[in-house]
Amino acid sequence: MFYDDKRSKKEKSLKSKAVSKKVVPRTRKRSPQKSTAKSSSLLFKLFSGAIITLFIAVGIKYFIDQTINHNPLLGKWRTQTALGIMEIEFERNSMSTFGTKNSVTYDIEENKIIVFDDMIKVGNTYKIIDENTISTEVGGYKTVYKRVK
């Protein structure tokens, strides 16, 4: 009996210890460096996405300008006249000549372009000879321009 009492006391103490110990799952605390790394990684992804979107938008704009809105007059042109060298420059919405810049609109046809001065509502026709040569006729005089590269 004495032995049974000791055993029963040991078993009781072991059982009570086993019941009293609760298994608590460990939770890991995140270090501030890892969350900073995640936020900087997210920022990098957002920045990269914005840059890629910008390049795609510029590419689409360039494609549309070169195919749908193609204007072969855009650029700087030069001619030699009796009065000296004369230059004109055509931009998307304007034309510069003799040091002045005028707002213009273009009527583009297959081999000629009519340039309308928005201020005085007068147009001038430029014939496309090739990609580096154009001509215009004003007052019965034909003037040939070469593209300035």
**Residue 116 falls inside a structural domain:** yes
- CATH of residue 85's domain is 2.40.128.280
Question: Over the stretch 2-16, which tens digit does the pLDDT of each residue have?
Answer: 555 555 555 555 555
Is the pLDDT assigned to residue 95 strictly greater than 80?
Answer: yes
**Residue 35 falls inside a structural domain:** no
Instruction: Indicate the length of the chain as a whole number.
Output: 149
The DSSP letter of residue 146 is E
**Residue 82 falls inside a structural domain:** yes
| pTM score of the predicted model | 0.53
**Residue 46 falls inside a structural domain:** no
3-state secondary structure of 28: coil
**Residue 8 falls inside a structural domain:** no
Best-predicted range by mean pLDDT among 8-17, 26-35, 132-141?
Answer: 132-141
Host domain of residue 105: 75-147
Mean pLDDT, rounded, for 114-127: 88
Question: Over the stretch 54-77, which tens digit does the pLDDT of each residue have?
Answer: 989 888 877 766 666 678 888 999
If one counts the domains in the chain, the total is 1
Listing DSSP states for 93-142 in one string gives: SEEEETTEEEEEEEEE-SSEEEEEETTTTEEEEEEEEETTEEEEEETTEE
**Residue 27 falls inside a structural domain:** no
